[in-house]
Amino acid sequence: MTRLHDLYAQGQSVWIDYIRRSFLRDGGLQDWLDKGARGVTSNPTIFNKAITGSDDYDDELSRVADSSMTTEEIYRLLALQDIAEAADIERSLWESSCAGDGFVSIEVSPLLAHDTPGTIAEARGIVAELQRPNVMIKVPATPAGIPAIEQLIANGTNVNVTLIFSREAYAAAAEAYIRGLEQRLARNQDISKVASVASVFVSRLDTLADSLLPGLGAPELCGKLALANAKLTYADFEIIFSGERWQRLVDAGARVQRPLWASTGTKNPDYRDTLYVDELVGPHTVNTIPPATLDAVFDHGSTERTIEKGLDEARSDMDKLASLGVSLDDWTDRLLTEGVASFSDAYNALINGIALKRNQLRN
């Protein structure tokens, strides 16, 4: 038994925020699954580092370098190969957990973040091509992403709602999930195998807040707001996924849309390296963890149930922020805008990097 198994005993699944071809083919993923990890997530930044920062993909790139494929099509080929391999490695876990874990997530193009029809079309295309039940499609919680999420859930697609920063965006994502399930149920379609997580980005809020709080005369709030926001979001989760409306879906086989704590690597060296894992342990949650933080959690992370602890302090900290005349919504809106831009930049860098490698590998 490892700390990752102990976290699962508390109701929290650890998913690895990393993918790379050698990690899949050299046994790295299977090793972490054996140690207690229960899923994999990816994003454009991760694929950019994997494809342009290694030679893992050079053989495949050489094979298609002189083809008529566009650079975007080559990226899709490489990425979907990795996602398929990861899904196959995790398939037995998906089956043994009754479709509870064993998922691998891939993001629709961040260039579609404000395009509802485009998001739906790309997600459907990925699902159709992969033909694997344990794939999740990542869709951002933008105003255009929310209706796409509802429609994809209604179509039976597993969705990882990404780039959630505010409690309001979380509530919108949860509502989209519930409405999607209700649409399926109204059509007498199975809802028991449809899965979704709501990815709440944690550390980025502290990174922004900590840069502004001293100037506002509130340095005592540094390092507190991200956890407060996450804990209060979890309290919202407990309310949303209860009551008569939700129970009707449960009776038909529905499973909760689990809060997923994302961006949980500690960016401030003054904070302990497992901070955003240790303080957010609780039932029906996922923590997607980058490799360095995963090593730290495996070595010395805490596995105590902490998600409900400090709620009064969390509310007090948010009240203090409001008393300063600060709108948290302004900060979270900024983080969403920056998040979309960051993923778009990473995607463009990835496409440009593949084009460069392609030219270098041409026969």
- DSSP-derived letter for residue 54 is S
178-192 per-position pLDDT tens digit: 999 999 999 999 999
The CA-based diameter of the chain, rounded to the nearest angstrom, is 65
What are the residue numbers of the active site?
138
Looking at every residue in the chain, the average pLDDT score rounds to: 97
Look at residues 354, 154, 146, 357 and name the one whose alpha carbon lies nearest to residue 249: 154
Number of folded domains that form the chain: 1
Q: How confident is the model at residue 268 (pLDDT cuts 50, 70, 90)?
A: very high
In angstroms, the CA 221 to CA 202 distance is 15
Residues with Cβ within 8 Å of residue 308, at least 6 apart in sequence: 231, 234, 235, 282
CA-to-CA separations, 314 to 32, 96, 302, 309, in angstroms, rounded: 33, 37, 20, 9
pTM: 0.96
**283-294 average pLDDT score:** 97
User: Residues 39-94: pLDDT tens digits?
Assistant: 999 999 999 999 999 999 999 999 999 999 999 999 999 999 999 999 999 999 99
Tally the residues of the chain: 363
pLDDT digits (tens, 9 = 90+) for 204-232: 999 999 999 999 999 999 999 999 999 99
Which residue range forms the structural domain that includes residue 64? 3-361
Of the candidates 87, 81, 94, the residue with the CA atom closest to the CA atom of residue 40:
87
Q: What is the pLDDT of residue 361?
A: 85
Residue 362 has a pLDDT of 82
Position 363 pLDDT exceeds 70: no
> Could you read off the pLDDT of 319-331 as tens digits, one per residue?
999 999 999 999 9
- Give me the CATH number covering residue 103: 3.20.20.70
- Stretch 15-27: mean pLDDT: 98
Strand partners, 288: 15
Instruction: Report helix, strand or coil for 287.
Output: strand
| Contact indicator for 201, 260 with CB cutoff of 8 Å | no
pLDDT band at 200 (very low <50, low <70, confident <90, very high): very high
